[in-house]
Amino acid sequence: MIKLIKSFRFWFALLSILIITQNMLGWDDKNLLLYFTTPPIIIINEWFYSNWSVWGKYAMLFFYVCNFLTWFLAGFLLDRFVNRLVRKLRRRG
């Protein structure tokens, strides 16, 4: 449990869930926080709306999943980088 709390995956995923919850509660009515904290949405936004505008209600679900996966993956990669760096430093010292 302590190892989980010390991981970036946990904190980044928690941050993502808080952003999604804030958006679902309507506190981010223009979706700016969700939009600017999810790089893939910024990149594919124009393409998504021109090709998949029929999705309507599923667009937000896609954005929520994309937000969570982006932050979880970023935390996972950061955890791996830190673990490798720590192992490398321990071998030297």
Selected residue with higher pLDDT from 50 and 7? 7
43, 14 Cβ separation under 8 angstroms = no
| Long-range contacts of residues 22-28, Cβ cutoff 8 Å, at least 24 apart | 23/60, 23/64, 24/64
Residues 6+ apart with CB under 8 A from 16: 67, 68, 70, 71, 72
Tell me the whole-structure pTM to 2 decimals. 0.83
Task: pLDDT band for 59, please (50, 70, 90 cuts).
Answer: confident
> Which range marks the domain in which residue 75 is found?
2-92
The per-residue pLDDT for range 8-44, each reduced to its tens digit, is 999 999 999 999 999 999 998 888 898 899 988 888 8
Structural domains in the chain (count):
1
Task: Give, in degrees to the nearest 5, the angle at Cα 61 between 56 and 63.
Answer: 95
Of 69, 39, 44, give the one whose Cα is nearest residue 55. Answer: 44
